[in-house]
Amino acid sequence: MTSDKKYENPDRNLALELVRATEAAAIRAQPWIGKGDKNAADGAAVDAMRAFLGTVDFAGTIVIGEGEKDAAPMLFNGEQVGTGVGPSVDIAVDPIDGTSLTAAGRQNALSVLAAADRGTMLDASSVFYMNKIVTDADGIGVIDIERPIGDNIRALAKAKGKDVGELRIAVLDRPRHAQLIDDIRAAGAGTRLLLDGDVAGGINAARYGTRIDMCVGIGGSPEGVVTACAIKALGGFIQAKLAPKDDDERQKGIDAGLDVDAVLGADDLVRSDNTFFVATGVTDGGLVAGVKRLGPIIRTESVVLRSRSGTIRRIEADHLAEKWL
């Protein structure tokens, strides 16, 4: 590996290269929207993302993928991607965050990719679920994941100068969250129930100008790390705790060197201050618009976040459909 300074860390040009991979995944998934076959949609997105990542000048290692090597054709944990020339980078991928949404033709499905300096992303693959709470910067020094949700809602409302009744709390609509949803409503706040895709929910909670003030609940551990990459660019707040489903998984986490009882902040989930988050819409949602076929073109909308510069860029691209036949 060269010691040239320009190769030591991922730079801003990398973000514009990575967005090509999420665009490709979203475009290839588009024909499967509403067709009821989530595996076909995911497979098409994976193949497209892998192909485009192979053209990028970097030495990428999939730290958070879709499974182990024997689960091919998924992008597996430990897979090497890129040309091998350039910065060494941890990569987290979710070719479709919301496969069920895509299959059903529902909103908020995304193609997602995050990157950070090599060796800085938390490998929580031994514990599948993670409890998370995300807000914008108003939650810093105010929210504590170990406090009751009602206390956190009231504290956030005070910090924002709002009535509790004005707050909207995003939660994955799952049986495990029945009590949490009741507690949110008992506190006087409203809920925004998510069918799938808590990455988008967390990002919208951290962005200013959205109708989501907080995103809470138990979702995937990989999604927590991916969300943290975005939160660092947005200047928002995230806390998390691993949520082992049983004693066996808890022990697996301990054996892997994880503190399963610790409260994890953004710096625990990803230690780098040079993170990238890229997402392209598969279906329409509050973060980005979905893929659209418009006569001879295919239009995509993406969002690109980088923590070092603190920038959020939106990229609308028109692709000649004939190039994708």
What CATH number has the domain bearing residue 196? 3.40.190.90
Q: Is 250 annotated as a binding residue?
A: no
Query: What was the pLDDT predicted at 10?
Result: 61
Query: Considering the domain boundaries, does residue 261 fall inside one?
Result: yes
Q: Is 129 annotated as a binding residue?
A: yes
Q: Is 222 annotated as a binding residue?
A: no
CB 88 within 8 A of CB 2: no
- Smallest CA-to-CA distance from 110 within 97, 122, 100, 123 is with 97
Q: Is 98 annotated as a binding residue?
A: yes
Do 283 and 233 share a structural domain? no
Q: Is 223 annotated as a binding residue?
A: yes
Q: Is 198 annotated as a binding residue?
A: yes
C-alpha span between 7 and 85 (Å, rounded): 8
Q: Helix, strand, or coil here: 283?
A: coil
Residue 143 is encoded by which pair of tokens?
A: 């929210």
Q: Is 57 annotated as a binding residue?
A: no
- Smallest CA-to-CA distance from 299 within 117, 26, 13, 107 is with 26
C-alpha span between 30 and 44 (Å, rounded): 9
Q: 């691993």: which residue's tokens?
A: 242
Q: 């090597």: which residue's tokens?
A: 69
Q: Is the pTM of this model over 0.85?
A: yes
Residues of the chain with pLDDT under 70: 1-12, 66-74
Do 278 and 265 share a structural domain? no
Do 176 and 159 share a structural domain? yes
C-alpha span between 193 and 205 (Å, rounded): 13
Q: Helix, strand, or coil here: 215?
A: strand
Do 260 and 136 share a structural domain? yes
Q: Is 255 annotated as a binding residue?
A: no
Q: Is 213 annotated as a binding residue?
A: no
Q: Is 144 annotated as a binding residue?
A: no
Query: Considering the domain boundaries, does residue 225 fall inside one?
Result: yes
Domain of 68? 14-120+274-323
Q: Is 314 annotated as a binding residue?
A: no
Query: What was the pLDDT predicted at 2?
Result: 40
Q: Is the peptide bond before 10 cis (omega within 30 degrees of 0)?
A: no
Q: Is 47 annotated as a binding residue?
A: no
Q: Is 196 annotated as a binding residue?
A: yes
Q: 């970097």: which residue's tokens?
A: 58
Instruction: Classify residue 235 as left (phi > 0), alpha (psi -120 to 50) or beta.
Output: left
Query: What was the pLDDT predicted at 70?
Result: 40
